[in-house]
Amino acid sequence: MMTLLGISPQLLFGQLLIGLINGVFYAMMSLGVAIIFGMLRIGNFVHGAQYMLGAFGAWYLLHLPDLFPGLGLPSLGYWWALALVPFAVGLIGAGMERLFIRRVYDLEHAYGLLLTVGLAMVIEGLFNVGYGAAGQQYNIPDSLKGGVNLGFMFMPYYRLWVIVAGIAVCIATWYTIERTKLGAYLRAATENPDLVRAFGINVPRMLMLTYAFGVGLAGLAGVMAAPIYQVSPQMGQSIIITIFAVVVIGGMGSISGAIFTGLMLGMIEGLTKVFWPQASTTVIFVIMAIVLVFRPAGLFGKETVAAHAADMSTARPDSILENGKLWLVILGVGGAILPFLVYPVFGMKMLCLALFACAYNLIFGYVGLLAFGHAAFYGSSAYIAAYTAASWGFPTEIAILSGVAVATVIGALFGWLAIRRQGLYFAMITLALAQVVYFYAIQAPWTHGEDGIQSVPRGYLLGVIDLSDNMNMYYFVLAIFLIGFAAIYRIVRSPFGQVLKSIRENEPRAISLGYSTERFKLLAFTLSAMLAGLAGGTKAIVFQIASLADVYFMTSTDALLMTLIGGVGTLLGPVVGAVIVVTMQKEFATLGSWVIVVQGTAFVLCVLFLRKGVVGTLEDWLAARAERRRIAAGGEPAAIARGAH
């Protein structure tokens, strides 16, 4: 039957073997993520970088004589690496927990995810600086070379070892967490730390060891993966998004769900490569979307009461920095002068990304939903605008509106799938859904893969104004930015915007007042996607290209970084953040991979020391100065005055 279908048994079983091996790595990685989330409530985005550290650790031990030629150190092979590297990666994880992670335990969960995103960027950026995109070869140990012919396929000994050892590690970990006294202590320490302290247990140390153990699993997976995949700085980045999709499908925090789902999805991925190779990169994310329709908590997750949206807003409504009408005028005048101070194309990039950041801030700052998939809306609009302008000859304004329409539809669909979950669930779901768009862009013929859509004509505005002239194009982009900024100001100051703020601050109260909060959040998410699409479509016309970089998840982190630096939930913050980030990228462009390190460091510093961003901090300073003047004039402190009324 298989031969009639054109599929040989060797191909089928070979792909099933590859799928099972991938499933083992998915299970081990997902297990670490699930433990850290289940016990510490941290979405450990740096897990992929720690997996990469495990692989590089094995490579370093093998090449000790070459790395330190004057010390006479011996070369330590695979078995030494298997014993030493997970412990070393766990120690690194313990240090990261002590220096960084524990500082955000008591904060909104979004801060933990943002912090680990920054740490991942720093670690992967540093290895990119040292090794570039080239992979390092790591040979299979001599004791596991060769294989056995099973008749229908050839089974390499090393791959058999990976399957058996990986499943054994997963089962042992599950048993430790779910069936031993130590596991009970761990669960109790996260659910009721005060009670556990009463028994004389050092809770901070236990949490640190829990994080180190989860990280050690990533290091172990990295060592086992080194002989199969090339050891490279990007190896963790390529797997971490899939891992979060696996965890979401299994149920965030579910230990058994992580193991079963990882193995199952690896096998499904392998089968898909046999029957429909083009869909193999997206099948996991499609399954995730289907599961979320019927089981929002995942296959093994427990249904919980919806958590409040994250209130990370730093805005002071009475601040002059929140006067949208005033700043609309200032930005208009300043924008009109800008092309005489900087190169117009640089100014256009700044305006496009400022609008993108403002669109992102609408859902993150004013609704409190941490999204990681806005690159899908920005990039899909860029592709549609570029294609309709270049291939169909659409006028510029119609091409941009076509991109906006597609981004709006995708935003409504993604919002419908994701909006029933909040916090880290929402962030991971939006990230995984955005990957579907990314993989589609890689494979679709009309997007031209890695080349992208190039030589996009700028055309004529209203058939009259030549947009190939940079100054004409700049003022067109400025007008689009001002319209988008005014629309966001109108939205947040409208009764609809006030409901969004009430949902962010106290969703149960909003529900008790009769508001359909899911409907409001879905509409806000769709509006955010629409405005992100406006920024993306405009960008494609400005730079005359749409590429994979537009839909890659790092574009979403750029929007997040701009919002965080400027000030979450402030009207002016995303604009200020965009100016800072774009300027930083321009100034550090000659540094190559160091740019990622600098951006990651900015993430970490903002989360730890500048959570209110530039505008939020400035608003606090202005409020404090006004308070001092009030007291100096003989008035009551503002807090006392409010209490009196």
> Do residues 91 and 213 touch, judged by C-beta distance below 8 A?
no
The confidence score (pLDDT) of residue 193 equals 67
The confidence score (pLDDT) of residue 2 equals 47
Which residue type, as a one-letter code, is found at position 183? Answer: G
**Segment among 235-249, 312-326, 439-453, 573-587 with least mean pLDDT:** 312-326
Q: Which residues on adjacent β-strands are paired with residue 149?
A: 154
Residue where one domain finishes, among candidates 504, 532, 552: 552
Residue where one domain finishes, among candidates 260, 294, 328: 294
The alpha carbon of 118 is separated from its chain's Cα centroid by a whole number of angstroms, namely: 10
Which residue type, as a one-letter code, is found at position 243? Answer: I
Provide the number of structural domains found in the chain: 2
Band the pLDDT of 343: cuts 50, 70, 90.
very high
> Do residues 155 and 17 touch, judged by C-beta distance below 8 A?
yes
Whole-number percent of the chain with pLDDT over 70: 93
Whether residue 394 lies inside any domain: the answer is yes
495 versus 278: which is more confidently predicted?
495
Band the pLDDT of 468: cuts 50, 70, 90.
very high
Tens-digit pLDDT profile for residues 50-69: 999 999 999 999 999 888 88
Q: What is the mean pLDDT of the chain?
A: 87
Whether residue 30 lies inside any domain: the answer is yes
Band the pLDDT of 1: cuts 50, 70, 90.
very low
- Residue 473: which of 407, 542, 415, 417 has the closest Cα? 542
The confidence score (pLDDT) of residue 81 equals 94
- Residue 515: which of 528, 530, 529, 505 has the closest Cα? 505
When pLDDT is averaged across residues 306-318 and rounded to a whole number, the result is 61
Tens-digit pLDDT profile for residues 255-276: 888 899 999 999 999 888 888 8
CA distances from 334 to 342, 354, 482, 566, 628 (A): 12, 14, 11, 18, 32
Q: What are phi and psi of 147, to 5 degrees?
A: -175, -170
Domain match, 326 and 248 both: no
The alpha carbon of 640 is separated from its chain's Cα centroid by a whole number of angstroms, namely: 42
Tens-digit pLDDT profile for residues 573-598: 999 999 999 988 887 777 777 888 88
Tens-digit pLDDT profile for residues 519-548: 999 999 999 999 999 999 999 999 999 999
Report d(CA 44, CA 579) in Å as an integer.
29
Domain match, 249 and 339 both: no
Domain match, 252 and 332 both: no
When pLDDT is averaged across residues 171-186 and rounded to a whole number, the result is 84
Whether residue 594 lies inside any domain: the answer is no
Report d(CA 197, CA 35) in Å as an integer.
21
Domain match, 445 and 500 both: yes
CA distances from 42 to 28, 39, 134, 190, 596 (A): 17, 8, 32, 12, 23
Which residue type, as a one-letter code, is found at position 204? Answer: P
Domain match, 234 and 349 both: no
When pLDDT is averaged across residues 551-558 and rounded to a whole number, the result is 90
Q: What are phi and psi of 154, to 5 degrees?
A: -100, 125
The confidence score (pLDDT) of residue 313 equals 67
pLDDT at 238 over 80: no
Band the pLDDT of 223: cuts 50, 70, 90.
very high
pLDDT at 641 over 60: no
If you ran DSSP here, which 8-state letter would residue 304 be given?
-
Report d(CA 254, CA 247) in Å as an integer.
8
Domain match, 284 and 359 both: no
> What ranges make up the beta strands (E) of 254-409?
none
Q: What are phi and psi of 452, to 5 degrees?
A: 70, 180
Report d(CA 255, CA 263) in Å as an integer.
13
Domain match, 188 and 337 both: no
When pLDDT is averaged across residues 291-304 and rounded to a whole number, the result is 76
Domain match, 484 and 385 both: yes
Q: What are phi and psi of 251, to 5 degrees?
A: 115, 115
**CATH code, 192:** 1.10.3470
Maximum distance among all alpha carbons in the chain? 93
Whether residue 570 lies inside any domain: the answer is no
Report d(CA 629, CA 107) in Å as an integer.
32
Whether residue 19 lies inside any domain: the answer is no
Q: Which residues on adjacent β-strands are paired with residue 461?
A: 465
CA distances from 391 to 224, 388, 454, 458 (A): 47, 6, 11, 13
Domain match, 83 and 216 both: yes
Whether residue 632 lies inside any domain: the answer is no
Whether residue 347 lies inside any domain: the answer is yes
Burial of 590 (0-12, 13-18, 19+ CB in 10 A): exposed
**Segment among 76-85, 246-255, 448-457 with least mean pLDDT:** 246-255
Domain match, 378 and 251 both: no
- Tokens representing 103 are 């500082």
If you ran DSSP here, which 8-state letter would residue 104 be given?
G
Whether residue 52 lies inside any domain: the answer is yes
- Residue 573: which of 411, 389, 418, 365 has the closest Cα? 365
Which residue type, as a one-letter code, is found at position 580? Answer: I
Domain match, 334 and 287 both: no
Residue 420: count other Cβ atoms within 10 Å of its Cβ.
18
Report d(CA 170, CA 558) in Å as an integer.
35
Which residue type, as a one-letter code, is found at position 419? Answer: I
Band the pLDDT of 304: cuts 50, 70, 90.
low
Integer Rg of the chain from CA: 26
Domain that holds residue 450: 320-552
- Tokens representing 161 are 């070892």
Q: What are phi and psi of 563, to 5 degrees?
A: -65, -40
Tens-digit pLDDT profile for residues 377-395: 999 999 999 999 999 999 9
Report d(CA 24, CA 267) in Å as an integer.
10
pLDDT at 643 over 60: no
Q: Which residues on adjacent β-strands are paired with residue 460?
A: 466
The confidence score (pLDDT) of residue 503 equals 87
If you ran DSSP here, which 8-state letter would residue 460 be given?
E
Length of the chain measured in residues: 645
Domain match, 287 and 371 both: no
Report d(CA 377, CA 553) in Å as an integer.
11
Host H or E run for residue 155:
strand 154-156
- Tokens representing 72 are 């006479």
With vertex at residue 280, the alpha carbon angle to CA 234 and CA 270, rounded to the nearest 5 degrees, is 95
> Do residues 613 and 567 touch, judged by C-beta distance below 8 A?
yes
Report d(CA 102, CA 188) in Å as an integer.
18
Residue where one domain finishes, among candidates 496, 527, 552: 552
